[in-house]
Amino acid sequence: MLHARFVYDGEPTEDERESASCVMGEILAQFSRNHADYREEFVACPRPCKIENLRLLAYLRNEEPWTTWA
């Protein structure tokens, strides 16, 4: 089972969801023999909400207090 969570700083638009689904398609094309099933999850998590990460990360926003935007 391949589980991908796409987290947005607010409710994702239809274009953002489609873009994330294209990413999943690219990943599945490379590993389709090993992953018979997959799940996409789209989560709205506006700051200061903390993201609940999965085990492996492809990208993580910077939430450190020393940044000017955090």
Q: Where are the domains of the chain?
A: 1-62
What is the model's pLDDT at position 69? 57
What is the model's pLDDT at position 34? 65
Q: Classify residue 68 by its DSSP letter.
A: S
**49 close to 9: Cβ distance less than 8 angstroms:** no
Nearest alpha carbon to residue 54 among 1, 3, 14: 3
What is the model's pLDDT at position 13? 92
In the structure encoding, which two tokens stand for residue 20, read together? Answer: 């994330």
Nearest alpha carbon to residue 12 among 43, 52, 51, 48: 43
| Owner of token pair 């990208």 | 59
| Owner of token pair 């700051």 | 47
- pLDDT profile of the chain (70 residues), mean per 10: 89 92 86 74 89 84 66
What is the model's pLDDT at position 6? 93
